[in-house]
Amino acid sequence: MAEQAAMRPKKAGLDKKWISFGTLVLGAGTIYKLGFLKDAFYVPMQDFMGLSHTQIGAAMSVAGLISTFGFLASIYLTDRVSKKIMIPLALLGICLCGVWLSTFPSYTSFLLIYCLLAVCADMLYWPTMLKTVRLLGTREEQGRMFGIMEAGRGLVDTLIAFCALGIFSALGSTAEGLRAAILFYAAVPGVIGVVMYFLLEPDAKQDTTAQSESVSKNQQAWKGAVQALKNKNIWLVSCNIFLVYSVYCGITYFIPFLNEAYALPAALVGVYGIINQYGLKMVGGPIGGLISDKVLHSPTKYLRVGFLVTGVILAAFAYLPHEALGIWAGIVISLVISACVYSMRAVFFAPMDEVNVPREITGSAMSMASFVGYLPGAFMYAVYGSVLDSHAGIAGYQIVFTVMAVFALLGILLSTYIVKRIHPITK
């Protein structure tokens, strides 16, 4: 009986941990739906909100700029404001933005809403969510936690998108259908925000320094931000994320490549896109996490293996005699590359624990890694696109895939260096 009594608090703690984790995954799968409304409702946005291609593109660009600066600001904020406040605030903010967006406002208001969505999602929620996931898991669970989070996010993203499309279709694909879909996108994070407020514990803060001098929360947050910026290991992990994301940006071009090299039938484009965008994310995340934790016992070692496999296949794929291969060979090889990249993307924040980043500056570390790691999204699409525009036919894709392979090679070298640094740390 005594043993059972002793186990109950532990089990309760574990239950709350996984309930909190599951709710975080729900939030992660919904926070970007309004900001990327175009993914499912591009034409309805034009028809019923009166938006042009240029206006939608401009809004996305402005939001991207806000996100970039938001990640910088979050280096300070994530360790200054408790996750119990930050995460519900972000989710409820997204909910309110969605309600405003459902009124089909003027374009000036539309731009402001997209800026606010970027603030809520990228400055308030995302780095804080990464921090919380890290703190929920032990050192041995980091790969699995981040892997399952990525897979769950993909699943939730897919389900929410299909539900919104169902609502839109059920209401006759009209303006009211779009309005209802937007309100659905707003309601889900709003409900999750309320639930998270009651599930999350406030951050534990040390109110004194080593010399027992009283310090304010502002001083603690600034100290943590400066400590993160000076931490070489955080920079190394951030640069490794940068390299993974640079490769990730390139897999966008597999569909036009398959069309160019193999004349991919229109009927297969949608199927390939669903598998590549959603299926591999849901499969690759858990596999990458399990191999990291259970087989290699190191997320960084897994990233090194992933870079190696991806780089070798990319280099070969670029110069294969595609005219002599069947279309299914091209589809399978490109999906294998995508699966490797998605599995790496799922765990690329996990090395923070492996390199012994102090847990009290986790927020600053995750914000810094997000800023550096996601930077390729601001320019690599333009780089790859310009290469394809200036080199017609297969030649352009060969250059793009070679550049991706070079990033993978750099990733192998950087991962090896990080692994060598880890050994003296863990001894």
The C-alpha atoms of residue 50 and residue 104 are separated, in whole angstroms, by 9
Give whole-number Cα distances, 375 to 45, 185, 369, in Å: 28, 27, 10
CB 228 within 8 A of CB 74: no
Residue 102, token pair as written in the block: 């459902």
Burial class from Cβ neighbours inside 10 Å (0-12, 13-18, 19+) for residue 394 reads middle
Q: Give the per-residue pLDDT at 251.
A: 87
Residue 191, token pair as written in the block: 């409900």
CA-based nearest residue to 351, from 297, 391, 312, 393: 297
Q: Give the per-residue pLDDT at 205.
A: 56
DSSP string, 223-274: HHHHHHHH-HHHHHHHHHHHHHHHHHHHGGGHHHHHHHHH---HHHHHHHHH
| pLDDT per position as a tens digit, 131-154 | 888 777 777 777 778 878 878 888
The greatest distance separating any two alpha carbons of the chain, rounded to the nearest whole angstrom, comes to: 75
Q: What are phi and psi of 214, to 5 degrees?
A: -70, 135
Say what the pTM is: 0.75
| pLDDT per position as a tens digit, 386-419 | 888 888 888 999 999 999 999 999 999 999 999 9
DSSP 275: I
The C-alpha atoms of residue 347 and residue 144 are separated, in whole angstroms, by 8
Q: Is 109 left (phi over 0), alpha (psi -120 to 50) or beta?
A: alpha
Q: Give the per-residue pLDDT at 117.
A: 94
Q: Give the per-residue pLDDT at 223.
A: 74
Question: Which element (helix H / strand E) includes 2?
Answer: helix 2-28
Strand partners, 382: none
Q: Letter for the amino acid at 373?
A: G
DSSP 200: P
Domain annotation for the chain: domains and CATH numbers: 19-200 (1.20.1250.20), 230-426 (1.20.1250.20)
What's the CA angle centered on 163, arms 158 and 164, to 5 degrees? 100
CB 91 within 8 A of CB 31: yes
Low-confidence stretches of the chain (pLDDT < 70) are: 1-15, 203-221, 266-267, 269-270, 274, 278, 423-427
